[in-house]
Amino acid sequence: MNTKAAITRWAILSAVAMLAMTGCKEKSKTNKKATMPDKDQVKAMVSEARVSLRAISTAAETYFETKHMKRDGTPIPNQFPDTVGLTPPTPCCKQPDHVCKGGDWTDPTWMTMKFSIADPHYFQYEFASCGSGKNAKYVARAVADPLCNGKYLVVETRRSGKSLGSSAAHGPAPIKVSTVTSVPKLHLECK
């Protein structure tokens, strides 16, 4: 998929998510016992995270498969980009209109992966990695509290250097969606 098509697809999915969340917020204003958004609204919201996590995964895996050298010309073992915490650091639900507006995507990891979100969005994003070669691992995660009620949507994808191997036909990393009442710290263990 070319960059223009990917950006257009992301913009459309973001618009769908925004419309779905508008309905969510209206429900939460009229229903004091509001729960998580309905299935269609969650699907629309998760589409934002899925598109973004696919972009992050593709960039991380491309970085892993690219040969890197130290200044003296010594090869560096294949590894994923460095760990970066939740971006933006303030939850979207604590920002005006309960939406993240852009964010500071200047961390070297986001810049290496050429990842940023300029438009309003509902998720915070983080990336953790460790190890090298077949022992390398990463987790990319999107976190949102759509109704600002302590019930979080966590969308996550993970991959290891071992699963990538040398084949370019490995396909996209699987994405897992869960609902939790507290978001655990992102942690990886590598050999």
Q: How confident is the model at residue 170 (pLDDT cuts 50, 70, 90)?
A: low
Q: How confident is the model at residue 186 (pLDDT cuts 50, 70, 90)?
A: confident
How far is the C-alpha of 115 from the C-alpha of 73, rounded, in Å?
A: 28
pLDDT at 163: 75
Is there a contact between 109 and 81 (Cβ–Cβ < 8 Å)? yes
28, pLDDT greater than 70? no
Is there a contact between 130 and 161 (Cβ–Cβ < 8 Å)? no
pLDDT at 177: 87
Least confident of 53-62, 93-102, 162-171: 162-171
- Kindly state the average pLDDT of the residues 185-191: 79
pLDDT at 37: 59
Q: Read off the tokens for 165.
A: 């191997």
189, pLDDT greater than 90? no
pLDDT at 7: 43
Q: In this predicted model, which residue has the larger pLDDT, 144 or 45? A: 144
How far is the C-alpha of 147 from the C-alpha of 26, rounded, in Å?
A: 10
What's the whole-number average pLDDT of the chain? 80
